[in-house]
Amino acid sequence: MSGYQEYSKVATYNSMEAIIWRINDLWARFNSYVLRGKLIEANWVLDRLWGEFVADADDTTKHPDKQTFRNFRFEFAKLNKIKEKNKVYDFLMRKEEFLRILQDKQGKGVKHQESVDDYMDD
């Protein structure tokens, strides 16, 4: 076939920008729901944030990220039956803290880590 060129199947598009936009949108939604007292919806958003982080979650540490998140899910199921807003709110704050720390640990947050390369001339 004349003019046919074979292409590699490796994606040339770096999806990090799209990931950052999705994560930013989810944090904004989370804050909006919490401020309006829609705590169940806020919890769903945190679950979606976990979906953005799970592929890179550490499964080798003494307290694996995946098990920690499973524990959050079991705890929320119990709290949801109680329906005390202050307990649900406190739970959401702990879950948010876990996810924000995980986000930074994975390099998907705003935390900047300096490296030797930052000080090297090309």
Please give the share of the chain, as a percent, with pLDDT higher than 90: 37
For residues 39 and 85, the answer to whether their CB atoms sit within 8 Å is yes
**Tokens encoding 68:** 């920690």
Give 100-109 pLDDT, tens digit per residue: 998 988 888 7
For residues 81 and 91, the answer to whether their CB atoms sit within 8 Å is no
Examine residue 93 and state whether it is found in any structural domain, yes or no: yes
pLDDT band, residue 9 (cuts 50/70/90): low
pLDDT band, residue 98 (cuts 50/70/90): very high
Length of the chain: 122
Examine residue 70 and state whether it is found in any structural domain, yes or no: yes
pLDDT of residue 38: 94
State the total domains in the chain.
Answer: 1
Rounded mean pLDDT, 87-98: 94
pLDDT of residue 119: 55
More confident call, 121 vs 26: 26
Please give the share of the chain, as a percent, with pLDDT higher than 70: 70
Q: Taking 80 as the threshold, does the pLDDT of residue 85 lie above it? A: yes
Examine residue 118 and state whether it is found in any structural domain, yes or no: no
Examine residue 54 and state whether it is found in any structural domain, yes or no: yes
Examine residue 74 and state whether it is found in any structural domain, yes or no: yes
Range of the domain at 84: 38-105
